[in-house]
Amino acid sequence: MEGCALPVKQTSIRITWVAVVTSSICAVFWLCWGIYFYWNNARLINFLAAWIPFVLSLLLAFVPEQKMSTAKKYLWRGSVIAIGFIWSVVLWRQQFIMDITAQQDQQRIVMTAVNQSNRHSDQQIGTVRSDVQGVKTDIQGIKKDLESRIDETIERSTSALDESIRKVNKPLPPELAKLQFSIFAQDVPDSNLPVLDRTVNRDQNGNVPVDVSFMNISGTAAEGVDVWLYVCDLCAFASEPSGFDRPQGLNEHARHRIIALLNPGAAFEKMTIVVKFPEQLMSFDIGFRYSCKACGKISDIQTAKVFVLPASKSAK
């Protein structure tokens, strides 16, 4: 029976190879399983691509081929070839993932740039729209202002045209002649006329002589002028004024005269009125009224006041 027993050394080598083969099969199984589930994981692929050469170096370094049997040599060489193949596949997969990652990065960069460009364009378009809206509002305001001004100009032009037509159809009325009464005074400049108050002396008969006149202060000639002079109720005409008359029915304190023409800016000649005046009074009024063809209706009486010195101071 002793001739049938296996050598101890041969038995230990077989156990070692069984352990190695079993461990290798498990390692390959777990490697394949990991690659299957993490085939798209870039980190795992990079890890395998980096460490598989190290495994090959271990096989080449610690397995002496010359001590192996023929079967073991084929097994060892097949293992090296398989690991090299796996390494090539891993390298190919690594390159493939890198290409996909690069494309994704490019797409992401392009999309980011496009999104930023779109946002910038939207902002610019929004700004332009805001500016356009502002310009549109300004144009609308200008349009309304122009319409208002055009309407106002048309209205003014229409009013002016109507006024011109009325002026053409209906001529302006001529200026009325206007006379101004004054006490005659040679020592008074024209700028101070009319003189409407004056101090005079009595004459030798105790009467009061007063020189008066009147002037056409308008731009229209006065034709056919009727002139009336009045003295106070306590006064009387000491003599009839030269050129004056007293028509029937006229008050005794009034006198009348007709003047044919008095041109614009012209003054009538000096007229002297001699008035009887009570000595106890100090002043009296002289009234003047006129009417003419171009004077219109005159109802007001122009008056001038005459101050009389007392009889004791009248002789000079």
Domain of residue 107 covers 38-172
What pTM, to 2 d.p., does this model score?
A: 0.46
Predicted local confidence at residue 115, as pLDDT = 84
Query: Where residue 133 falls among pLDDT bands split at 50, 70, 90?
Result: confident
Token pair 């080449």: residue: 60
**Of the residues 120, 144, 172, the one at which a domain ends:** 172
Query: Where residue 291 falls among pLDDT bands split at 50, 70, 90?
Result: very high
Mean pLDDT, the chain, whole residue set: 78
Report how far residue 114's alpha carbon sits from residue 163's, in angstroms, rounded to the nearest whole number. Answer: 71
Q: Look at residue 22 and tell me if it is in a domain.
A: no
206: left (phi over 0), alpha (psi -120 to 50) or beta: left
Query: Do 90 and 129 have their domain in common?
Result: yes
Q: Tell me: the pLDDT tens digits for 163-182? A: 766 666 566 678 899 999 99
Query: Do 68 and 144 have their domain in common?
Result: yes
Predicted local confidence at residue 147, as pLDDT = 79
pLDDT of 82 strictly over 80 = no
Report how far residue 212's alpha carbon sits from residue 269's, in angstroms, rounded to the nearest whole number. Answer: 9
**Of the residues 113, 143, 172, the one at which a domain ends:** 172
Predicted local confidence at residue 244, as pLDDT = 93
List the strands of the sheet with 236-237, edge to edge: 179-183, 208-216, 271-276, 236-237
Nearest to 180 by CA among 112, 227, 144: 227
Mean pLDDT to the nearest integer, 122-141: 76
Query: Do 84 and 197 have their domain in common?
Result: no
Predicted local confidence at residue 316, as pLDDT = 42
- Which of 47-56, 104-113, 245-254 shows the lowest mean pLDDT across its residues? 47-56
Structural domain total, the chain? 2
Query: Do 164 and 250 have their domain in common?
Result: no
- In this structure, the strands spanning 302-308 and 271-276 are unpaired
Query: Do 183 and 146 have their domain in common?
Result: no
Q: Tell me: the pLDDT tens digits for 210-220? A: 999 999 999 99
Give just the sign of the alpha carbon dihedral 260, 222, 295, 194. Answer: negative
Q: Look at residue 128 and tell me if it is in a domain.
A: yes
Query: Is the peptide bond preceding residue 194 cis, with omega within 30 degrees of 0?
Result: yes
**Of the residues 106, 138, 172, the one at which a domain ends:** 172
